[in-house]
Amino acid sequence: MAASASCISLVVLVALATVASAQLSPTFYDTSCPRALATIKSGVMAAVSTDPRMGASLLRLHFHDCFVQGCDASVLLSGMEQNALPNNGSLRGFGVIDSIKTQIEAICAQTVSCADILTVAARDSVVALGGPSWTVPLGRRDSIDANEAAANSDLPGPTSSRSDLELAFSNKGLNTVDMVALSGAHTIGQAQCGTFKDRIYNETNIDTTFATSLRANCPRSNGDGSLANLDTTTANTFDNAYYTNLMSQKGLLHSDQVLFNNDTTDNTVRNFASNPAAFSSAFTTAMIKMGNIAPKTGTQGQIRLSCSRVNS
């Protein structure tokens, strides 16, 4: 009885998730705010042209939003999730989203959610750095709360094992190929020394010259905030070089290199390294799936006037 009851519960959960994502539509703002997408794109393009790293920061912000109670802009609320260990002192891009929100409010008051702005901005960031584009389903609404505890428990970290990563992604309805593809977002952006220090001094599955070059700016005893490019070859271009780096044992984070370490994900890494189109296809598929994690729709949540706080 217990087993069949849990099966029924699972079916209901899946059905609810399907209904929620089905309510999202690429044309959601075509009538209510036809200039929304163009406004988001111009804001992202301007930010990335000034600071190429911002593209990676906005993409990461979306990821850290969706993995904690779904893509509901909870990560944008001041405090709470922002104070969680994976986020504190490392999340960036809030000002860019706030600026875009202000511009959109001026043309379509209380119409476009912060959750949708962040989802579209992630796509536009990838495009701005030379990556693929995809059609973003829209119609998410914003949460009225955030969950610091869930941010600490649900977000995979830089020291995660391959099985840890698979479990974290599986818990959000994303499979192993999705996980390897989304990890390819590390073809852009930078990481702080504190997140890879143990790897460059203590791990053996790392190119010796690569490790030595990183130690110069990341000493054993301090410098935790020093930055290094996640992709040493084309740091500001969204391409498939990340996977080639893994095959040369030049993954910056432990959680990067575990994807190519004589394990079950090696063949997927080889495929993405040799076939840019396969990577682009898998990445866009995974991004759409991630953007559909537990969205608030209809009358759920609210359309925040300011992304950093709930409406009074």
Catalytic residue from among 64, 140, 162, 289 = 64
Q: 65: annotated binding-site residue?
A: yes
The phi, psi pair for 282, rounded to 5°, reads -65, -35
**Partner residues linked to 302 by β-bridges:** 142
Q: Is 62 a catalytic residue?
A: no
Q: How far apart are CA 194 and CA 196, in angstroms?
A: 6
Q: What is the dihedral of CA 140, 143, 144, 149, to 10 degrees?
A: 180
Q: 74: annotated binding-site residue?
A: yes
Say how many C-beta atoms besides its own lie within 10 A of residue 44's C-beta.
27
Q: How far apart are CA 180 and CA 169, in angstroms?
A: 10
Q: 70: annotated binding-site residue?
A: yes
Q: 231: annotated binding-site residue?
A: yes
Q: 62: annotated binding-site residue?
A: no
Q: Residue 188 half-sphere exposure, CB side, CA atoms within 13 Å?
A: 25
Q: 256: annotated binding-site residue?
A: no
Q: 254: annotated binding-site residue?
A: no
Q: What is the dihedral of CA 179, 150, 309, 297, to 10 degrees?
A: 60
Q: 209: annotated binding-site residue?
A: no
Q: What is the DSSP letter of 238?
A: -
Q: 186: annotated binding-site residue?
A: yes
Q: 51: annotated binding-site residue?
A: no
Q: What is the DSSP letter of 174?
A: -
Q: 183: annotated binding-site residue?
A: no
- Binding positions for substrate are 156
- Binding positions are 65, 68, 70, 72, 74, 81, 156, 186-187, 231, 234, 239
User: What are the catalytic residues?
Assistant: 64
- Binding positions for heme b are 186
